[in-house]
Structure 1
């Protein structure tokens, strides 16, 4: 699967959550819930690969994300569990979507998380 296709699928998945919305920012799309970012997807600008950033509170998920090729802590937010994960043919979309859900659950108000079941 091409990185742009992964980008589109992950963005569509992220926007399905209660009160989730996207807005442009930092050369990509920031997906928020009640004004709080839970995923950032960048577009391929030639310098950086198509990638996303998510907050992973679970230590195992965080370690797994960092084990992927070219993955890294997200700048200053890395100390709070944010991870940068580039997309590539090696990246399973279902796993990326699972991490988007984990990030949503970590950021969204408890009332909205309860709606997920």
Structure 2
């Protein structure tokens, strides 16, 4: 018998919605607009790097797995907040112990793009050299 109850909170569809794809594109664009940021595709997924270090894992947008972003959040409040997002979890491969959090984009109640961009910026500030962070701060003034 088919489940007709509709989407459940925290459940993630394999096929991303237009809204999730738009959110992913906005986060990707924001990340790649940060000083010195470049996109690479290790392990078949999109990542944004600064000085050869990953500051956000963007996953894949081909529908092969649920859209998500993974960021490093060292601020305890931001880290705790991210983990309250539907389906969010400490990143795999031991990265979660260092503050990396995987946040699905398509789950009902997923964070808005603005909040995700804030988390991407925090991750960038944690990973980027001081010179690049200074460039970012200069842009803001």
TM-superposed CA distance for 1:101, in Å, is: 0.2
1:55 aligned partner: 72
Superposed CA RMSD: 1.4
User: 2:52 aligned with 1:35, yes or no?
Assistant: yes
Distance 1:33 1:96 in 2: 18
Between 1:95-104 and 1:40-49, the stretch displaced more is 40-49
Between 1:14-23 and 1:83-92, the stretch displaced more is 83-92
TM-superposed CA distance for 1:5, in Å, is: 1.0
Structure 2: which 5+ runs fail to align?
1-17
Distance 1:26 1:70 in 2: 22
Equivalent pairs counted in the alignment come to 117
Instruction: Tell me which of 9, 13, 17 is aligned to 2:30.
Output: 13
The two structures have a TM-score, normalised by structure 1, of 0.93
TM-superposed CA distance for 1:24, in Å, is: 1.1
Within a 5 Å distance, the mapping from 1:74-85 to structure 2 comes to 74-75=91-92, 76-85=94-103
1:70 aligned partner: 87
Give deviations 1:61-87, integer Å, cap 9, x for gaps. Answer: 000000011100001110000000000
Return structure 1 stretches of 4+ with deviation > 4 angstroms: 44-47
Distance 2:64 2:135 in 1: 39
Q: Counterpart of 2:41 in 1: which secondary structure?
A: strand
1:107 aligned partner: 127
Change (3 A) 1:46 1:16: closer
Instruction: Tell me which of 9, 15, 23 is aligned to 2:40.
Output: 23
Distance 2:117 2:63 in 1: 24
Distance 2:57 2:26 in 1: 14
The two structures have a TM-score, normalised by structure 2, of 0.78
